Chain A
Amino acid sequence: MAETTARPKNFLGVPVAKPKVAFIELSSCEGCQLQIVNNEATLLDFLSLVQVVNFREAMTEKSDDYDIAFVEGSVTRKDEAEKLRTVRNNARVLVALGSCACFGGVNQLKNRFDLDWVKREVYGNSFIDTDKAQPLEDFVHVDLRIYGCPIKKEEVEKIVTNLVIGREVHHPRYPVCMECKANENICLYDLGEPCLGPITRAGCDSWCPNNRAGCWGCRGPADDANMVQMRKIMTEQGFSDETLIDRLECFGGFKACVDNIRKGQLK
């Protein structure tokens, strides 16, 4: 970060360089970038930490000289793979922003069909260029992942602050269920709702269960997630494998598990 010319900010009396950051989007709803702007209360503080040099959704000026690239979206076309490789070359740190970038997101739901059928269903016989929807890591090295659909602004701020001041970034290893218990919510299963809280990586502060909506696993699996037990809970609570798979496959984070269930290998 030595090249940055921005004025330093103090952290505990120690000057901190302002890294140049870029926000880049591939196939996505651009919601994760918007979440950054949605931090009205702390946006100005956040902007004082970094120097934004590339943010097409919000600014006209753009530069390819940046330290940290936040990339939102999944790769669904060859030009996006190329763009991603260029960003990788430009950036010192590449951050995958949100479920689409980390796992393919909802976009990867199309991968369960034959691609020709997918194209025909929407564009008829007209030509349209598209490939499978894939996460960033299928093409380039990813330094850091920020999970969630959408990303949670408080978590982003914490991660970015750590990144900027050079602290290591750790994700919780435990599942959403722990946060949900700590928040003293009524268990979604007691309300008759399916929930992937027991296997999904925490860090969102059990965002959906706090609102009485079961978890759909947008943050992917927690360390040592017990898939067999998860399926047993769902079955015991009267939910079908279809309901389990709907949730597991929604954001792409549990792909291996879904494949195993479909192949009959998860017992």
Chain B
Amino acid sequence: MKLTCNVDVHHLTRVEGHGNIKIRIQDGKLEEARWEVVETPRFFEAFLVGKKWDNAPWICGRICGICSIGHTLASIRAVENAFGIVPTEQTRKLRLLLKHMETLQSHILHLYFLAAPDFANVGSVFPLIESAPDVVARAAKIKLLANDVCDCIGGRRMHPTRTVVGGFTMLPAKSELVGHKDRLREVMDDLIKTADLFRSFAIPDFLRETEFVSLKGNGDYPFIGGDLISTDGVRKGEQQYREMTNEYLVEQSTSKWSKLSRKSFAVGALARLNNNFEFLHEWAREISLSFGLRPVNHNPYMNNIAQLVESVHVVAESIAMIDELLDSKFSEPRQHVVAKAGVGVGAVEVPRGILYHSYEFDETGHIIKCDCVIPTSQNHANIQHDLQELAAQYAKEGRKDRDIELLAQMLVRAYDPCISCSVH
């Protein structure tokens, strides 16, 4: 018998923000597959207009509760680029360390609390507290460490307080960094166990060829600033981000969509890995290969594994960076800022992909124009096309409707979408 089914997921759970999945299959033929974004817009790009430069990072960090550090850093970079400020080596390192710990916190939150319940066949992490307490305790331990380091460097794990244009309001105590380094070493074992856990899960086998966009590594796996690159061979400067994102409006979404060489592209951990595999820390590369994950991988569910690989990378790199910080003599935390007219762009790889903030200032440092392009908004079109392909394939294979619903939800979750962020 040919499959007929209706999938209607209103407000998908275990993602940040509000999106719906609709799939209609009639007699084995796909009639409709839609990824709808119904989130209410907040209009950051409008209400920033007229505000002085120092408001931007403070307010724009609040675009997102999960990646507020990434937004703050992208905002700061945009302002600094507009004013011609080059961060000191010390500031650069501390920002990257802070960024790494946000990446770890966010990836672990997604892997354990949002994605893993699907593989464990439960509706949330809560039943696992009783059935698999060691697993939940491990997740909490890694997340707590990541958050503690964010508190130590950024002043606060969410909506950071110490991060400002020009540097930091104050520096962490070296004694605290020593303690965090020991905990990071310990957490490496927990990440190996996390890899074992995910090796026990059946990652859905689904492929759809697409284009992957990220920052381009220059000797290092990239996180803050630099050139933009795609797996289809496009290369642009940070300033040219608009040519890389090409935002447009669609009727099914309050978030804008993006495209580049094809009808859609993907950003995120998998995109970063596909473009910069050679720059991963060797331990991370090893984990990646143990999952058969090598560039260019076109299975969107492998974004989960790419997040795991990046978690290993950021922990390994953070340990080395803390050593460098401990060996250095701390200098002044903050540079003097002189506002001037101009445009500045800040591109930062946040957990869900590449994020751009761009501001235009008048000569007194007031914002004339503001533009933020969010990773998840760049992913929406790719999610839509994946969903269509997935539903069509499974309709043809005559899979059960419950399977299709679950796999469709898992597909969207694999992107770790930050929907309210995408409708900022």
Contacts and interface: CB of A to CB of B under 8 A. Distances in A.
Given A28-B420, A30-B420, A60-B123, A246 B65 contact: no
A246 B421 contact: no
A44 B65 contact: no
A2 to B, nearest CB: 24
B46 A121 contact: yes
Contacts of B129: 44, 47
A41 interface: yes
Interface string B292-314: 00000000000000000000000
A58 B14 contact: yes
Nearest to A131: B40
Contacts of B147: 38, 40
Q: Which of B43, B55, B420 has the most CB of A within 10 A?
A: B43
A216 B47 CA distance: 17
B36 to A, nearest CB: 14
Given A34-B65, A211-B155, A128 B41 contact: yes
A119 B58 CA distance: 23
B158 A38 contact: yes
A59 interface: yes
B41 A61 contact: no
B135 interface: no
A189 interface: no
Interface stretch (B137-145, B187-195, B230-238, B257-265): B137-145
A213 B45 contact: no
B68 interface: yes
Interface string B149-168: 00000011111011010000
B66 A250 contact: no
A208 B126 CA distance: 33
B115 to A, nearest CB: 12
A148 B41 CA distance: 21
Contacts of B170: 211-212
B254 interface: yes
Contacts of B62: 29, 31, 105-106, 149
Contacts of B17: 30
A30 B66 contact: yes
Nearest to A117: B46
Nearest to B9: A60
A126 B249 contact: yes
Given A37-B109, A123-B249, A130 B159 contact: no
A253 to B, nearest CB: 15
A1 B52 CA distance: 49
Interface residues of B, number: 55
A35 interface: yes
A121 B49 contact: yes
Interface string A128-142: 101001000000000
B159 A31 contact: yes
B65 A27 contact: no
A102 to B, nearest CB: 15
Interface string A86-124: 000000000000000000011101101100011101111
Contacts of A113: 46-47, 49
A109 B51 CA distance: 10
Determine the interface band of chain A, counting residues with CB < 8 A from chain B: 35 or more
A107 B42 contact: yes
A30 B49 CA distance: 24
B16 A57 contact: yes
Interface string A149-162: 11000000000000
Contacts of B52: 242-243, 246
A107 B420 CA distance: 13
A210 B161 CA distance: 9
B124 interface: yes
Nearest to B106: A34
Contacts of B161: 207-208, 211, 213
Contacts of B158: 31, 34-35, 38, 150
Contacts of A208: 155, 161
A41 B144 contact: yes
A122 B43 contact: yes
5 contacts: A33-B65, A41-B140, A43-B140, A59-B13, A122-B43
Please name the 5 residue pairs, one residue from A and one from B, whose CB atoms are nearest each other, closest first: A31-B65, A59-B124, A211-B155, A60-B123, A40-B144
Interface of B: 11, 13-17, 40-47, 49, 51-52, 54-55, 58-59, 62-66, 68, 109, 113-114, 117, 123-126, 129, 140-141, 143-144, 147, 155-159, 161-162, 164, 169-170, 249, 254, 420-421
